[in-house]
């Protein structure tokens, strides 16, 4: 089940550089582990923003919250979630029919 | 080059049913043609909304506008465009490096 | 899986009274059928508004969209969807643990 | 009398971890006490947000404010209140009529 | 129990003058009946707006919705409801204490 | 002349408790003095908010600003002002006519 | 007593040209009469908008509403009112002191 | 003197095609005449929108309003105006200094 | 050439009182100098707000930015600028014609 | 390929003056280097704002993000990006045709 997730990052201006580097490294590792496992199939940078648009593939809403709330950057993010359904014009439906 | 495009459809309440059916059929055909050609790699229904979230893959902004403005539903849509860039955590970069 | 759904109704001022009565009767029947089947466990009127706040219980996002898009009032509604997860303070968790 | 209450939590980035743990423990105990007594019949996590959507059942507006303003997290919350009324399509009304 | 209610009126530009006069006369009669009975203790015109700010005194949310949804102008209004509680600085509390 | 005034209070999370207690005590005394003199005829707590909705009765805009800007909490408030006029449906007008 | 008033005009696209010309002529005459009498000391066109920013000088809020609600364009306007007070840096105060 | 002007076009869904074609032709001619004369140095389509972002070069605010209010599409446009000044980092300043 | 300028002041809660007093004194002197020279013909306090609505009279946009950016309170202000043009109903036009 | 970019700068009130001067100097140098190379063809100050409206000319979205995210002021900016396409009324098209 897919969800579009827009994540805006707001780091405090006076954040300790080592703390910041550590969080960003853990965020990257966490994201890549989920990408490899298929939970996080798409991640794009919104050009000119400290934001990403992602698509997550999870079994249910509880799992969605678990995945997002464990993001190392979660306390510094503003997050918007949009549940996605199959679009009736999606050509993947044509392939299923055939 | 990728763009996230959110399309909200607002059809007039008194639209002629035949006109409506015709526009929707042409919209579907247009979208599926672009999906097949790789210009419209993702289309999702926003659950509970008469809206879709799509990702378009075009050469430049002129082509993006051409594709969107020729949508049969374009006159009835509210459209938001977000230019997408490669995210530094995207695992596709790891594969390129190896 | 639960979703909070806020539905605001905007009927055209010049809607034919018979058409309106028919849509409202079908809306009520549709809602009550889903309530009885457990798909629509909560429906509340937002006091002073032509709006309701509902909780739907569906298997996935596709089913959520199916249920909402088939509402007879769907073309006249503005809908906001919030995916709900279990809250860690929910006492239902205590009961599960015991 | 029911009220929908959306609570968004914004903790300061530099909050002392012990102070934070203490507040969260008191918040949980306070919420669970009210859940058990029937004052707080529903609490859901908004997936991907540090927010909850709750339904409170209180005698009047004074009691509603008393309950909410005594939340240990109240100084860190942004709260929206929606008074709820019985919906005319609620099947509970059918049961009352029979 | 008090509620602040902001009512903004939006009449269609092409409304039939007789229909309009009839609705406005019924709205006035309805409001004045409720004012006399104590249900509608305050009504003020927001200067420069086709809007009023009112305070309603009702037993519960169901009664609030009943009163507002029966306004002859209800289909043409945008309504905001704010539940009001006793303010701890209200001098009425001093009088009660003495 | 009446004005509706919505006051939202935002105290800094790290405010010294003694300073806070002192400001709140002065705010209460100031408000009650104005209530007794008739300048501040109504004050209500917006349920669930650190906000009040008040009605002030002053001679003119200069006096309104003087009263509000001398609130001890003024530097910590977000304030919205709505000038109020007599509503043509107000039953007080009936009494004046008789 | 001064009020800043921002008036945005929204005429229906299908308004009868004669009706429109008549309303605009009456609006101009009404405005100029009030300008000459000192009630409407300033009127500016917001460049590029079908809007004006005006300053009205009236005795009280009731008079303000009377003046604005009698504008021939009132049913087609969106109006924002800001009560104005003397600014402590206004050099008119220096002249009064001397 | 430069102004950034964002123009959003909203044509009625039921506009007569001949009327529409005529307005669009006159709009194009009007714009091109002003472009050639130097009054309208930049016009860009906002990709995916029925909108343009333009820069106008006029002597003063009166001329700006004259130019914009005479646009054939003016009654169908939502317009935002931003007055532009020389930026201190603009390299055109370096050339002036040398 | 006139511009309406709305200035909202947001001073940090922990600003040093001497620094604050110095800035406010310089702001007042700066404003009054410009008022006397005719550059700042109107300044009003928005009642109940730490805001002013002003009208500035400058030769062009560069001068407007120069005047505003040199305000001692500029770093603490949120500023909105509206370019003003002559209104066709302004009675000053009648005088010019005669 | 052109993008309109609105950049709003928000520097912390307590920023060290030397740090600030260094960032601003580097920002200016960075901007001017890109202006000279043709990547940043337009930069304007929004009058009365600590903001600029710019037009960037880059090969693709990845380059756009690279250019913007390397701005020394990037961590202190709120940025809005609008992809720009050729406008069909642009007289540059006439020249190309001839």
pLDDT digits (tens, 9 = 90+) for J47-74: 999 999 999 999 999 999 999 999 999 9
Distance from CA of J96 to the nearest CA of H (A): 14
pLDDT at I6 over 80: yes
> Beta strands I77-86 and I2-9: pairing type?
antiparallel
* Contact (Cβ atoms closer than 8 angstroms) between residue H34 and residue H52: no
Q: Look up residue A16 and give its two tokens.
A: 């300790």
Query: Which pLDDT band, with edges at 50, 70 and 90, does C97 fall under?
Result: low
Chains A and G touch (3+ CB pairs under 8 A): no
The verdict on F11 touching D (C-beta cutoff 8 Å) is yes
In angstroms, rounded to a whole number, what is the distance separating the alpha carbons of residues D8 and I65?
A: 39
Q: Write the pLDDT tens digit of every residue in B33-85.
A: 999 999 999 999 999 999 999 999 999 999 999 999 999 999 999 999 999 99
The verdict on D86 touching E (C-beta cutoff 8 Å) is yes
Least confident range from E94-98, G9-13, H63-67: namely: E94-98
Indicate if ipTM > 0.85.
yes
The verdict on J32 touching I (C-beta cutoff 8 Å) is no
In angstroms, rounded to a whole number, what is the distance separating the alpha carbons of residues G90 and J52?
A: 31
Strand ranges (E), D1-98: 2-9, 42-46, 51-57, 77-86
The answer to whether the Cβ–Cβ distance between I61 and J49 falls below 8 Å is no
* Torsion angle of the four alpha carbons B52, B55, B58, B64, in this order, in degrees rounded to the nearest 10: 30
Which among A13, A14, A47 has the least Cβ separation from residue J65?
A47
Q: What integer pLDDT is reported at residue B64 of this predicted model? A: 98
The verdict on H81 touching J (C-beta cutoff 8 Å) is no
In angstroms, rounded to a whole number, what is the distance separating the alpha carbons of residues E68 and E73?
A: 9
Distance from CA of A69 to the nearest CA of B (A): 18
The answer to whether the Cβ–Cβ distance between A12 and D13 falls below 8 Å is yes
* Contact (Cβ atoms closer than 8 angstroms) between residue B58 and residue B1: yes
Neighboring chains of G (3 or more beta-carbon pairs < 8 A): E, F, H, I
Q: Write the pLDDT tens digit of every residue in C78-89.
A: 999 999 999 999
CATH level 2 (architecture), domain A2-97: 2-Layer Sandwich (3.30)
Q: Whose CA is closest to I64, among I82, I78, I44, I85?
A: I82
For residue A56, the chain D residue with the least C-alpha distance is D48
Mean pLDDT for chain G? 96
The verdict on C96 touching D (C-beta cutoff 8 Å) is no
Q: Look up residue J86 and give its two tokens.
A: 């050729």
Q: Look up residue E70 and give its two tokens.
A: 């029966």
In angstroms, rounded to a whole number, what is the distance separating the alpha carbons of residues C65 and A83?
A: 9
Q: Look up residue D33 and give its two tokens.
A: 């006490």
Query: Which pLDDT band, with edges at 50, 70 and 90, does I61 fall under?
Result: very high
- How many Å separate Cα J45 from the centre of its chain? 11
Q: What integer pLDDT is reported at residue I14 of this predicted model? A: 87
Q: Whose CA is closest to J53, among J71, J38, J40?
A: J40
In angstroms, rounded to a whole number, what is the distance separating the alpha carbons of residues C2 and G56?
A: 53
Residues in chain H closer than 8 A to B69 (CB atoms):
48, 50
Q: Can you tell me the mean pLDDT for J82-96? A: 94
Q: What integer pLDDT is reported at residue J51 of this predicted model? A: 98
């Amino acid at each position: 089940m897919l969800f579009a997730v827009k994540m805006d990052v707001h780091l405090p201006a006076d954040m300790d550089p080592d703390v910041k580097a550590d969080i960003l490294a853990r965020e990257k590792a966490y994201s890549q582990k989920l990408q490899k496992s298929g939970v996080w199939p798409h991640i794009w940078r919104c050009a000119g923003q400290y934001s990403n648009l992602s698509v997550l593939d999870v079994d249910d809403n509880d799992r969605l919250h678990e995945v997002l709330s464990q993001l190392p950057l979660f306390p510094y993010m503003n997050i918007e979630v949009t549940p996605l359904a199959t679009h009736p014009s999606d050509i993947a439906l044509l392939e299923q029919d055939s």
